[in-house]
Structure 1
Amino acid sequence: MKNTEKLEIQQIANDKKAFLTGENFYLQHLLGAHREEHGYIFRVWAPNALAVFLVGDFNDWQDWAMEKDPDTGIWQIYCEEANEGDLYKFKVRQADGREILKIDPFAVRFEKRPGDAAELYNFPDKKWKDGLWRGRSKRSNPFKRPLNIYEMHASSWKHHEDGTPYRFAELKDELIPYLVEMNYTHVEFMPLMEHPLGRSWGYQLIGYFALSSYFGTPAEFQDFVEECHLNNIGVFVDWVPGHYCINDDTLPYYDGTPQFEYTDPDRAKNNRWGSINFDLGKPQVQSFLISSAMFWIEMFHIDGIRVDAVSSMIYRDYDEGPWTPNHEGGNRNYEGVYFLQKLNAVIKLAHPNILMIAEESSSDTQITGMIESGALGFDFKWNMGWMNDVLRFYEMDPIFRKDHFNLITFSFMYMMQENFILPLSHDEVVHGKKSLMHKMWGDRYKQFAQLRNLYTYFMTHPGKKLLFMGSEWGQFLEWKFDEGLEWGDLGDSLNQSMQHFTATLNDFYKNQPALWELEESYDTIEIIDADNTAETILSFIRQGKRKKDFLIVILNMTPVERRDFQIGVPYPGTYKEVWNTEMEEFGGTWTKANVDCQTELGDFKQYQQVIKTTVPALGALILKPESINTRKK
């Protein structure tokens, strides 16, 4: 036996041992189908199966018996007849004797729906051209940089005339220029991994290593990400490590016993979503999931992962129905907590610049921050509380807003407890919740005015930003996952103006360091007046590193124009209006901005200087110091 063969055998043995202990983070190199000199080697983990057979195009779907490694429960077979493009499955004789065709959990490509056979696919040897972007990302501090995300469902952004969605080869040519034109810094995709039902939006997966064939080939997605990077756009992908598709021919009870899922049937079944929960405490499952995350990061050069439904992984009572307390009698799922800490630790060790984002709705667990301090180790957390409070406020008739002003001010009390992303996401524009535009109170003109007001508050409130597709121009209809966006809206002048407003606001955000330089500290914000419930106007300052670099934000939440409106300011001098949501170019009625404001002596809360200006009805203003004396406060 040659030395190279001995080394290969030893490496495989080491990989198997690491898999059993939960320390193999490149498990796809061991399991699945792999091209060798004269054929393919197939391996699958099914420890309690009575027998496993390989079936596929290359053997006319006849049973070819696989050989079991009794120490690991891994079955394998070498097949010289297999060729790239062939479809295949594993026939598993389960522990109870039942035979069922199962998918390859490590397949990197599947046939198109409704079929779910794996397809033999060899990744091309890509020579990436995004070295400049990746190098810059390693040197950049994401907490002190603008982060403005365009959230997308890849197959419903645009459709062809025949109703088919754009593939990534087409999105590369149309979406990327649009992202650049709209001044977004990142794009985030709802899950792209293989899933059998479009209605799940990708949140019930079967293929954790496979780009859905619905979106194109893996090579096309690689080219898409590369082109994004060449245009200074980062790419995030949603990922679902908590639960998976219940279909019998996929992962559930793979060998006839609880294999990927919990042994306790109450913990295994996810009643809320009709799916199956991963046993996050099982070492083999940890290897499987962490390998999946590493695969997407390294094969596709994505810049971050948004982990879906974190609450379902860290609380035993999150689901509907019966639940089992932990050994202390509480509701904490310690296996889930440990898994997420391990996931973040492994990824950060290998790729420190990758952003890990949690979609999590509770406040009982520290999500972002150092694992050593007890946190889960994520970089960012979606601020679901902010989203729910703010949308409730903007849906309200303005006559009642003065009595519920805390809905837009309460977030200032906890905004530094986590590193937050402010999400105006897909979850809020579906299932009868209405689009963001449709949520706004009043007639169509007032709805646009309030949407501009909302987006200004969204962009000036501390926290990174995320907006779902279609919301940038105020699409009135709810999002439909199986249709393209209502691009015909842009034939209307108000929708055009709204789209222009969003692009201009995004650009304003990127070019104003006061909106992101100090976001890790309370120094980033100074409240001017959060008590003006009578007029229902909120005002605050966003501060940059330099003393003179700050913005004054004034938000009028009522349909009443406020003339000679007075607020305090920190320094004497002149303040210039740099943002007005009611300008004609944005769909408003103002043709001229307010004149520059000159301070006067006067007491206003903690300030000894005041300015006066006119605040548009349902409008928002941003002022910037033009010429001030910072020695006198």
Structure 2
Amino acid sequence: MAKRKSPTPSAEPEQTAQPTLSNLSVQEAEQTDTPAQTDGPYSRFTDFDIFLFRSGKHQRLYEKFGSHVVTHNGVVGTYFAVWAPSARYVAVIGNFNSWDKGSHSMNVRWDSSGIWETFIPHIGAGETYKYFIVHEGGRELEKGDPYAHFWEVPPKTASIVRDTYYEWQDQEWMANRKEKNALNAPFSVYEVHLASWRRDPGDPERELSYDEIANALVPYVQDMGFTHVEFMPVMQYPYAPSWGYQITGYFAPSSRFGTPQDFMRLVERLHQAGVGVILDWVPSHFPGDAHGLYEFDGSHLYEHPDMRRGYHPDWKSYIFNYSRPEVRSFLLSNAVFWLDRCHADGLRVDAVASMLYLDYSRNAGEWEPNMFGGRENLEAISLMKEINEAIYKEFPDTQTIAEESTAFPGVSRPVYTGGLGFGMKWMMGWMNDTLRYFERDPSFRKFHQDELTFSTIYAFTENFMLPLSHDEVVYGKHALVSKMPGDEWQRFANLRLLYAYMFTHSGTKLMFMGGEFGQTSEWKFDASLDWHLLEFAPHKGMAACVKALNTLYKTEPAMHERSFTADGFEWIDTTDRDNSVVTYIRKGNRPEDTLLVVLNMTPVPRHNYRIGVPMAGSYKEVFNSDSTEFYGSGVTNTTSIASEEEIWHGRPQSIQLNVPPLGAVVLKVD
């Protein structure tokens, strides 16, 4: 079988003309009004590239900017290109020239694009470098390459010449992933923070490499039955406590864990195991590190110059200037890069709400209305639409997922209908209501049953993903199992019940690592999960329960075929508040795939509990969260239950069953 490859320098046309290198010194540059100009023959930019870049429409700037090893006139060297329109002098500095600021100056293009270029012979992959930039006002800066594919391991901050060549061996997955990523397919996501999922048992301070993570993660996720993994940001980030959400290297997998090719191999191995890969993507803000994007050429180049739009008060970071075409091209190209070069199956876009609204986390007088006097960030909205249109055109078998917490309309609706164009949206309202309900003492839940049922009023206005993410287990919020009331048995029963409700509710699913076995402590970004807990029955039972739910979700069509349409869900009864029992139906495309779900939110078992059923037949229990296998009490229905002609819940047929304490039962009609 032919090997699918990422683009490689050897596949590029050979450069044949001799480059013109400017040897202008820093002092000479500071004494002239006009930098040395050239349209160098080694340039990778065409006039059309420049047009697209300056129009905000370029989708593959990573093929142009940055460092690229090429053969020029028979000599191997590296081509460098950087955007610095407010600079009067730019040079490449690195180990190869002892960080001499005057020996390898760059040439600014003649077309006023602000792009500086050069070709340096006899240096190649592995070379460490930065750009030395002199602002037109005289300020001097040393910056990493915004388009670099590899960086030094923090706290070091230089870029490293590296390509993204990789001989992919995931052809089968790529050919068939349209079915795996479809909106009517099971989509159960395991959210992972690479630095803390698992660490070296012999040295808990040591983070595992991409290959070591793959050795443990791939078989684990496959065994647990998750369909996708979502990695919290893997892009190069300097500050570990940011969890990856403060990015300086947008086009580089984090060097903490290995090379770009090592990361690609991790993706490949997940694909070979039948597991999709979603990447957290952060186009909403970036940090003010001296080597990063902030004031890149001495001006507000990437960030908005008005700090009412350019500074984020919550995260003490800087907001992209969504109105600047070159910045739009940067972000558009970055979204495409991870799907193109790294074979990602989708992007989960972080903090979308902060991009949508100009007054996000700002008081009156701290923000400026848009041209129509409104609070919407029109430029950010148009950019998100353009990015989603580009992704679904170029990669129609992938998904974009918005972390968006407001009632902004049409987030997961197509752009041509007026939506933002995302494939899915996090259902933050469901998450908040559900956790608040389950944190209550069961004896008081009957007064708050609407918190459990309210989500179905708006559940089909968007393509919702139900998230129990990292944000719910940090900053004093406690681990999920620790949020649950009662003694140890009740806490674990409550959490199994919560998961059963989550998996049988309409929508796709996301669970943060550790939740699947009942991690008892809050998540720590700098320590491994408590894997030793799996030696104990409650945690082993929790893992078995989640595994069974994933199996049920994947094998029963009613659980996923109509996740986003109202015809896939129907309430049987929400009125039994005294017993805190709710019942509903999940439907597939065929009547025989219908499932009944019964949830008992109290620790009191309900024997011979009668519910109305949608059709005559024999009903068999296919899941019970109270199974002894899951550390439950074993109140189950071991034999099929024949329906009776007794009207109940307004239905001509009904059944009687045993409903376990703090338990969920799923039945299938025969």
The reply to whether TM is greater than 0.5 is: yes
Runs of 4+ in 1 over 4 A off after TM superposition: 2-11
Alignment-derived partner of residue 78 in structure 2: 40
Residue type at the aligned position of 1:25: Q
Q: Secondary structure at the match of 1:369?
A: coil
Alignment-derived partner of residue 629 in structure 1: none
Aligned sequence identity (%):
41
Residue type at the aligned position of 1:206: T
Distance 1:438 1:590 in 2: 23
Please say if 1:111 is aligned against 2:155: no
Residue type at the aligned position of 2:310: A
- Asked if 2 retains the 8 angstrom alpha-carbon contact of 1:23 and 1:287, the reply is yes
Deviation at 1:486, TM superposition (A): 0.5
Counterparts of 1:295-306 in structure 2 under 5 Å? 295-306=337-348
Distance 2:44 2:605 in 1: 77
Residue type at the aligned position of 1:153: H
Distance 2:505 2:556 in 1: 13
Q: Which one of 334, 357, 369 corresponds to residue 413 of structure 2?
A: 369
Deviation at 1:447, TM superposition (A): 0.5
Counterparts of 1:104-503 in structure 2 under 5 Å? 104-124=145-165, 126-138=166-178, 142-160=182-200, 161-162=202-203, 163-321=205-363, 322-503=366-547
Deviation at 1:82, TM superposition (A): 2.3
Q: Secondary structure at the match of 1:36?
A: strand
Please say if 1:78 is aligned against 2:119: yes
Q: Say what the alpha-carbon RMSD is for the aligned residues.
A: 1.7
Alignment-derived partner of residue 3 in structure 2: none
Distance 2:668 2:391 in 1: 41
Deviation at 1:293, TM superposition (A): 1.3
Residue type at the aligned position of 2:229: V
- Asked if 2 retains the 8 angstrom alpha-carbon contact of 1:95 and 1:257, the reply is no
Residue type at the aligned position of 1:276: Y
Counterparts of 1:34-73 in structure 2 under 5 Å? 34-37=68-71, 38-63=76-101, 64-70=104-110, 71-73=112-114
Deviation at 1:133, TM superposition (A): 1.1
Residue type at the aligned position of 2:68: H
Deviations 1:98-136 (A, max 9, x none): 111111111100001101100111333x22221111111
Q: Secondary structure at the match of 1:528?
A: strand
Deviations 1:509-531 (A, max 9, x none): 11110101122321101100012
- Asked if 1 retains the 8 angstrom alpha-carbon contact of 2:481 and 2:492, the reply is yes
Q: Secondary structure at the match of 1:446?
A: helix
Distance 2:551 2:214 in 1: 22
Residue type at the aligned position of 1:175: L
Distance 2:452 2:552 in 1: 22
Alignment-derived partner of residue 504 in structure 1: 548
Distance 2:15 2:158 in 1: 37
Structure 1: segments with no counterpart, 5+ residues: 627-633
Deviations 1:216-238 (A, max 9, x none): 11111111111111111001100
* Residues 1:275 and 1:11: Cα distance change in structure 2 (over 3 Å): closer
Deviations 1:537-560 (A, max 9, x none): 110010111112111000000111
Deviation at 1:596, TM superposition (A): 2.6
- Asked if 1 retains the 8 angstrom alpha-carbon contact of 2:611 and 2:649, the reply is no
Distance 2:192 2:333 in 1: 25
Residue type at the aligned position of 2:559: L
Alignment-derived partner of residue 87 in structure 1: 128
Q: Secondary structure at the match of 1:236?
A: strand
Alignment-derived partner of residue 23 in structure 2: none
Deviation at 1:168, TM superposition (A): 1.0
Distance 1:571 1:442 in 2: 38
Residue type at the aligned position of 1:35: V
Deviation at 1:8, TM superposition (A): 7.5
Deviation at 1:602, TM superposition (A): 2.6
- Asked if 1 retains the 8 angstrom alpha-carbon contact of 2:65 and 2:82, the reply is yes
Alignment-derived partner of residue 97 in structure 1: 138
Distance 1:259 1:591 in 2: 64
Distance 1:595 1:182 in 2: 27
Distance 1:78 1:172 in 2: 37
Alignment-derived partner of residue 630 in structure 2: 586
- Asked if 2 retains the 8 angstrom alpha-carbon contact of 1:12 and 1:30, the reply is no
Please say if 1:540 is aligned against 2:584: yes
Deviations 1:52-89 (A, max 9, x none): 12110100000132221251111122211423212111
- TM-score (norm: length of structure 2): 0.91
* Residues 1:209 and 1:347: Cα distance change in structure 2 (over 3 Å): same
Deviation at 1:165, TM superposition (A): 1.3
Distance 1:531 1:330 in 2: 42
Residue type at the aligned position of 2:516: E
Distance 1:467 1:11 in 2: 44
* Residues 1:222 and 1:328: Cα distance change in structure 2 (over 3 Å): same
- Asked if 2 retains the 8 angstrom alpha-carbon contact of 1:186 and 1:235, the reply is yes
Distance 2:156 2:168 in 1: 32
Q: Secondary structure at the match of 1:39?
A: strand
- TM-score (norm: length of structure 1): 0.96
Alignment-derived partner of residue 15 in structure 1: 49
